[in-house]
Structure 1
Amino acid sequence: MKRTIITMWMAGATLLSSAQDAPLMPYQNPSLSFEERADDLLSRLTLEEKASLMRDSSPAIPRLGIPEWHWWSEALHGVGRNGTATVFPITMQMSSTFDDALVERIFTAVSDEGRAKNSIAKRAGRLDNNRCMSFWTPNINIFRDPRWGRGQETYGEDPYLTGRMGVAVVKGLQGPDSTRYRKAYACAKHFAVHSGPEWNRHTFNVNNISERDLRETYLPAFRELVQEADVREVMCAYQRYNDHPCCGSNELIGQILRGEWGYRWLVVSDCGAVSDFLPGRHGTSDDPQAAAADAVLTGTDLECGVEYRHIPAAVERGDLSEADVDRSLRRLLIGRMELGDFDPDSI
């Protein structure tokens, strides 16, 4: 009996030692580039797993050691919906200072608190919405009409001032470009021409904006955040622009954002915006599979909502290819790696 117990103990110790000594798979190797790691991980995922990772609340995939992840956190004027945190003045008051250096200091403090809260949540096993390092702010829409209802989230009606404030927010949240990892991700929203009316935003069609007004009023702040601050996320808006939902607008996402401005990071949907493609709202897609395919093909990488669960069915039907899915998911995986999600805090 004693000999049997000793033999079993030695076998267990050998297995444990082997597991500890097992070489890292490429996507787990911090010495490789994020692009190399993302490509390796893509090759190991099933289509269903890929679709699950393209939603704002992404489940864990235990067989590959992928932890749970949430893309939606709030930090409009301080870390939001995540316990006790420093509350700064609302954004309209920040812009009234005309002091973008001060605003950058404010959001440096916000990202300090956010990163600390994220570490605490991971260690406590309580990682959910509002506890990850992807903050869906700043709102850089132009506030022209007080009847909109959300103007207090913006930095006012001046495109130049909005751009300067927005750049400061992004730099404070994301941290210096000289580091390998990003401190947090900021999100420029809502792209584009999203300044009300609030009550019919899920059906409204903006088709009376001149090219001059688009370029001089509604787009300058977004361009500055993309080209100067290197913002890592852009959120597409609910409404249609020139007959196409913003999250399915090739003009906005394909031609202007990714084409003219050279944007190479993440496009995320506002919550429920892809569902708005369906009949009864915008009505530009016949069913959920088509809605998911239309958004992915346009370049919307991440959905806050439920339609991307239909991605496998859309691939099976031929509405999009798995390569189309991989293009978006690769950007998302690089993002998570850049935020340190796959690596220990000690690195």
Structure 2
Amino acid sequence: MQTSDPIERVRTRNGCRKLPVIGVLLGALLTVAALGSQALAAEAASPAATQAPWLDTRLGFEERAAALVSRMTLEEKAAQMQNAAPAIERLGVPAYDWWNEALHGVARAGGATVFPQAIGMAATFDVPLMDEVATAISDEARAKHHRFAAQGQRGRYQGLTFWSPNINIFRDPRWGRGQETYGEDPYLTARMGIAFVRGLQGDDPVYRKLDATAKHFAVHSGPEADRHHFDARPSRRDLYETYLPAFEALVRQADVDAVMGAYNRVYGESASASRLLLRDILRRDWGFKGYVMSDCWAVDDIWKNHRIVATVEEASALAVRNGTELECGQSYAAALPVAVRKGLIREAEIDEALTRLMTAR
């Protein structure tokens, strides 16, 4: 039965995808999937991990993640909350880097199909085509990841957590990154963003094809030079009618797995440590169940540039307590254990944050 929604229609019609790149990838996918399975089997069979409950596939993802987190030291937990998460050999946990890019094709990971810039694709107003584009991107991303994993490579741009799409609103043509967005219209941005996320994450009812990330939350539309200290104070009407609708749509309609906070402040709070944005709006009002990450080194901005607090320990604790589980940067690993000892944050709050991250992994 054909649905009237163009986004749903592309997901339910029969037959092969029309993009020619898919046919080329099928053989590669079959080969690298086998290699990836062998690597995972060998990893699971390591002496440290054979009895581990977090490798018991009969348990739910969150239950397995919580069991793993409970075995970590405080220092190990903090290190896992940075984008370059180190291996924990005694627990059988491999290294993982959360940083991967796919704005209009898999980036910085070798040869890949390059599609038009985001604003060019938005200009087509072709929502089903955007779904097909994102599906092609995620096919290539999966193939590349399996090959990297089979070769023991787990560095940057070799994972399955992608920091795309950029659904900021392009209001000022002087903004030098406006081409990364879907333009100035909140509705079009939402429709294109939904299709892109669905194509990236796939439609399997149990497993994600990969994680998409809606960025940069929120009120981030340049200029670049001011973003590390700027305080955005839109009217509440402008906030809810212009800057938030696309993010809400991706959370409610596309079930996006991750949200990236912006560098700037919003009403005096760092967007990466904002109780209003991250706890009240994102989780309470919209029911977001995924994880939140900072833009790169945005946690440092909290104390160095915004000067909301005086130390890196206070900034790290504030970010985690208000909902930023993952940091792109290098502050959390050293600062969070100190923050716990100083009483700035409880270890239980770190456990809750890290469980979300390990559930995604």
TM over 0.5: yes
Match of 1:304 among 323, 328, 337: 328
Q: Does 1:93 align with 2:120?
A: yes
Q: Is the 8 A contact 1:167 1:228 kept in 2?
A: yes
Counterpart in 1 of 2:319? 295
| Uncovered stretches (5+) of structure 1, i.e. residues with no partner | 1-17, 337-347
Q: Which of 281, 287, 306 is equivalent to 1:262?
A: 287
Question: In structure 2, what is the Cα distance between the partners aligned to 1:41 and 1:324?
Answer: 16
Q: Secondary structure at the match of 1:86?
A: coil
Aligned to 2:87: 60
Answer yes or no: is the 8 Å Cα contact 2:142–2:209 preserved in 1.
Answer: yes
8 Å contact 1:291–1:307 — kept in the other structure? Answer: no
CA RMSD, Structure 1 to Structure 2 (Å): 1.3
Q: Alpha-carbon deviation of 1:299?
A: 0.5
Aligned positions of 1:117-196 closer than 5 A: 117-178=144-205, 180-196=206-222
Amino acid at match of 1:58: A
**3-state DSSP class of the match of 2:307?**
coil
**Which residue of 1 is the match for residue 36 of structure 2?**
none
2:124 maps to a residue whose letter is T
Rounded to whole Å, the distance in 2 between the matches of 1:59 and 1:39 is 18
CA contact (8 A) 1:73 1:130 kept: yes
Find the aligned partners of 2:163 and 2:239 in 1 and give their Cα distance.
Answer: 23
SS, match of residue 225 in structure 2: coil
Q: Does 1:221 align with 2:246?
A: yes
92-101 or 223-232, which moves further after superposition?
92-101
Aligned partner of 1:271 in structure 2 is 296
CA–CA separation in structure 1 for the residues paired with 2:247 and 2:296: 20
2:226 aligns with one of 200, 210, 223: 200
Name which of 236, 259, 276 aligns with 2:261: 236
CA apart distance, 1:214: 0.6
Q: 2:52 aligned with 1:25, yes or no?
A: yes
Per the normalisation by structure 2, the TM-score is: 0.86
The percent of aligned pairs where both chains have the same amino acid is 53
- Residue in 1 aligned with 2:339? 314
Partner of 1:7: none
**Structure 2 SS opposite 1:203:** coil
State whether residues 46 and 92 of structure 2, in contact with CA within 8 Å, keep that contact through their aligned partners in structure 1.
no
- Give TM-score scaled by structure 1 length: 0.89
- Partners in 1 of 2:99 and 2:50 — Cα distance? 33
Distance (Å, rounded) in 1 between the aligned partners of 2:97 and 2:66? 21
Partners of 2:46 and 2:310 in 1: CA distance = 50
Shift of 1:322: 0.3
- Distance in 2 between the 1:291 and 1:200 partners? 20
Tell which structure's C-alpha radius of gyration is larger: 1
- Residues 181-200 of structure 1: CA distance to partner in whole angstroms, max 9, x if unpaired? 10000000000000011111
CA shift at 1:24, angstroms? 2.9
Displacement of 1:42 in angstroms is 1.4
Deviation at 1:177, TM superposition (A): 4.4
Structure 1 residues 79 and 326: CA distance shift in structure 2, 3 A: same
- What is the aligned residue count? 315
Shift of 1:287: 0.5
SS in 2 for 1:115: helix
State whether residues 77 and 354 of structure 2, in contact with CA within 8 Å, keep that contact through their aligned partners in structure 1. yes
Local SS of the residue matching 2:142: helix
Moved over 6 A (4+): none
Q: How many angstroms apart in 2 are the aligned matches of 1:25 and 1:116?
A: 28
Picking from 74, 80, 105, the partner of 1:47 is 74
